[in-house]
Amino acid sequence: MVGFDTPEGATPIEDASGLLIEGVLTHADLNAAETENILRAVNMHLRPRKRRATPWLTEEYLRRVHRDMFDGVWAWAGRYRDAELNIGVPAASIREEVAKLCQDVAYWDGQKTNPLSVLERAARLHHRLSWIHPFPNGNGRHARLMSDIYLHVNGCALPVWPASSMSGQGDVRKAYLLALRSADRGDFAPLIDYTTRFLPAPKRSRS
């Protein structure tokens, strides 16, 4: 079995037995292969505009997005992990927690009194998926894409995530991990602010 060094806060890859491609020797090689696969998934899931009235955020859809992101690289793409990690909920609780998340998002969407902003709902979705950590790997990237899909469904601008900086060491990743840890404590403002940093600047109207 081949393992890969991973940055702080990322799921350790101690078992590469599910790797579907050859010639991947380093974490950088793996990132390159996964990025190509993820770009195809991004084009697939952000191109069509889903109708808000149609229930679309389901456990099945969450797994399908992960499968589309990694199915050319990992044999376990779209399957929940069965191993216990030092992050994430117990493996036996994953399905239940994902179902709760889908129910919560439907509740937030239906709130009439003091509703959460779309950006906060997207941030909460992002955080909960990271917190559950349902898959053997790729959880952060999956959580960010699901957040993007949620914003897209609601007709909002999408953040341009600095993928290379977020997958390596440095201040960008440290700020991201701190924002997620604040959300663990119920404070979503740092994650909302972090997401806002990468939203495109509003276009100025011509006078």
Q: How many domains does the chain have?
A: 1
Residue 12 within any structural domain of the chain:
no
Question: Does 3 reside within a domain?
Answer: no
- pLDDT tens per residue across span 163-194: 878 877 789 999 999 999 999 999 999 999 99
Classify residue 143: in a domain, yes or no: yes
The CATH number linked to 137 is 1.10.3290.10
- pTM here is 0.89
Which pLDDT score is estimated for 93? 98
C-alpha dist (Å) from residue 134 to 120, 138, 203 = 22, 9, 38
pLDDT for residue 83 is more than 90: yes
Residue recorded with tokens 């190509």 = 36
How far is the CA of 173 from the CAs of 4, 62, 137, 143, in angstroms? 18, 24, 17, 15
The sign one gets for the Cα dihedral 77, 79, 80, 85 is negative
Looking at the predicted structure, is the pLDDT value of residue 72 above 50? yes
Task: Answer whether residue 207 shows pLDDT above 60.
Answer: no
Q: For the segment 21-65, what is each residue's pLDDT rounded down to a tens digit?
A: 888 878 788 888 999 999 999 999 998 666 666 778 999 999 999
Domain membership flag for residue 140: yes
Please give the sequence-ordered ranges of beta strands (E in DSSP) within the chain, or none if there are none.
none
- Say how far apart CA 174 and CA 179 lie, in whole Å: 9
Residue 162 belongs to a domain: yes
Tell me how far apart the alpha carbons of residues 73 and 150 are, in angstroms, rounded to a whole number.
25
Which 3 state secondary structure label does DSSP give 4? Answer: strand
Q: What is residue 9's predicted lDDT score, i.e. its pLDDT?
A: 55
Cα separation, 203 vs 170, whole angstroms: 30
* 6 within some domain: no
For the chain, what percent of residues have pLDDT higher than 70? 87
Task: Please determine, for residue 1, whether its predicted confidence score (pLDDT) is greater than 50.
Answer: no
Owning domain of residue 127: 27-197
* Residue 120 CB partners (closer than 8 Å, separation 6+): 188, 192
Of the candidates 27, 23, 21, which has an alpha carbon nearest to the alpha carbon of residue 5? 27
The kind and range of the H/E element at 97 are: helix 94-110
Does residue 11 form part of some domain?
A: no
